[in-house]
Amino acid sequence: MLPKKPPMGFNTWNTFGPDISDAMIRETADAMVEKGLRDAGYTYLVIDDCWSKRQRDPVTDKIVADPEKFPQGMKAVSDYVHEKGLKFGMYSCAGVRTCANYPGSYDHEFLDAKTFAEYGADFLKYDYCYKPDYADGSLLYRRISMALQSSGRDILLSACNWGCDDVYSWIRSTGAGMYRSTGDITDSFGSFRDIFLSQLDNMKYNAPGCFNDMDMLTVGMRNRGNVAAKGCSDLEYRTEFALWCFFGVPLMLGCDVRSIDDTTLKLVTNPWLLRINQDAECRSAFIAHKDRDNLCNVYARLLSNNEIAIMFTNLSDHPHGEVWFPLDAIGIPPEAGKALQLTNCFTGEDAGTVKEYMLLPLEAHDCAVFIAKVVDA
């Protein structure tokens, strides 16, 4: 089944890298339930690279879980995750080795898909390292998709080829439910800003069935773990999360949810932002007012129930006194006699009614998000 809304969950890579284990996954599953993340919609728990032994089993040719990290095998971990009401995600690669140099699925697609189905996987992230030059990328994603479909289990294919080889033009035809469109994120403002800006022209490819994946969130990592860089302030994490929500892309948490702090938990379960992300109609966001270098754009997105989401951004390094946009830019000319009644998505508070235009000062790296209804002026 292809996803109708952007998938949500947690992935081990950002914080844990190779330091994954049976205990760490079980504790994460517990935390996702206890902290209300599962009930907020974060249902996939995905184990990324470095989960297997370095070589396939010499007799069966199967990939085998690392017995030191996962002494009870993967099925036991998967069963535990399922008992918690979560879905279980695995990782492999279209090439001969994974990016961290474990066995990849090239030429073993059907065997591996069967193995993942035996584990009880519901999701497969499929990377692109060590792909033989002569192999066509779109064929490799079609092959694994075919293998998953004949595995006897409904497994969401999460492609990860970093936006290479014109992936936008063919990924939807492979049967993937989401696809990474950028290189790897690190925990810094510059990293998520550049990833976001690189995707402005690709948002038209983001739609039900196959979502444009801008990578796992670094929100709340606080510069600890595998992709630590400069770290972000609370304000910057808020901007990152708001951008991912507003643009309707998958929300995969990358912080250690076992020790998630209250500010982060409140942010990632913010009902107004999640409502925008998970809106039933999944329409694309568009630029409602364009700044010269896209750093201080205003974006809009039509939601179901005749609501409109509006996002003001200041992704520059300087305060911006007046991020401006005319309501006409979203189709409300002054002579229509209409106004927008606003709810502030960070607080849920009524933010009043505006006519003709909006003007908002924003600190460097800040943003503001509103859900609006059209009312009589």
Q: Which residues are catalytic?
A: 127, 184
CA distances from 215 to 3, 34, 151, 162 (A): 17, 25, 27, 9
Nearer to ligand GAL, 183 or 209 (CB): 183
- What x-and-dash track marks residues 127-146 binding ligand GAL by CB under 6 A? x-x-----------------
Compute the least distance from the CB of residue 61 to ligand GAL, in Å. Answer: 22
Distance CA 205, CA 225 (A): 32
Nearer to ligand GAL, 98 or 174 (CB): 98
Compute the least distance from the CB of residue 181 to ligand GAL, in Å. Answer: 11
Q: Which of 49, 112, 122, 213 binds ligand GAL (CB under 6 A)?
A: 49
Contact window for ligand GAL (CB under 6 A) among 61-69, 96-104, 134-142, 327-335: 96-104
Distance CA 317, CA 40 (A): 33
Q: What is the H or E stretch that residue 139 is in?
A: helix 137-149
SS3 318: coil
Give the chain's radius of gyration (CA, Å).
Answer: 21
Neighbours of 184 (CB within 10 A): 16
CB 272 within 8 A of CB 351: no
CB 334 within 8 A of CB 353: no
Compute the least distance from the CB of residue 70 to ligand GAL, in Å. Answer: 17
Distance CA 289, CA 171 (A): 30
Q: What is the H or E stretch that residue 277 is in?
A: helix 271-277
- What x-and-dash track marks residues 271-310 binding ligand GAL by CB under 6 A? ----------------------------------------
Nearest CA to 49 out of 96, 9, 110, 92 is that of 92
Nearer to ligand GAL, 160 or 203 (CB): 160
Nearest CA to 7 out of 193, 157, 220 is that of 157
Distance CA 370, CA 247 (A): 14
User: Which two tokens mark 41?
Assistant: 């919609």
The residue number with the shortest CB distance to ligand GAL is: 99
Kindly identify the residues of this chain, within the stretch 8-27, that bind ligand GAL according to CB under 6 A. Answer: 13
Q: Which of 27, 66, 118, 184 binds ligand GAL (CB under 6 A)?
A: 184
Q: What is the H or E stretch that residue 352 is in?
A: strand 350-354
Compute the least distance from the CB of residue 243 to ligand GAL, in Å. Answer: 18
Nearer to ligand GAL, 186 or 264 (CB): 186
Q: Which of 46, 99, 251, 358 binds ligand GAL (CB under 6 A)?
A: 99
Compute the least distance from the CB of residue 374 to ligand GAL, in Å. Answer: 40
Binding flag, residue 106, ligand GAL (CB under 6 A): no
The residues binding ligand GAL (CB under 6 A) are: 13, 48-49, 98-100, 127, 129, 160, 184
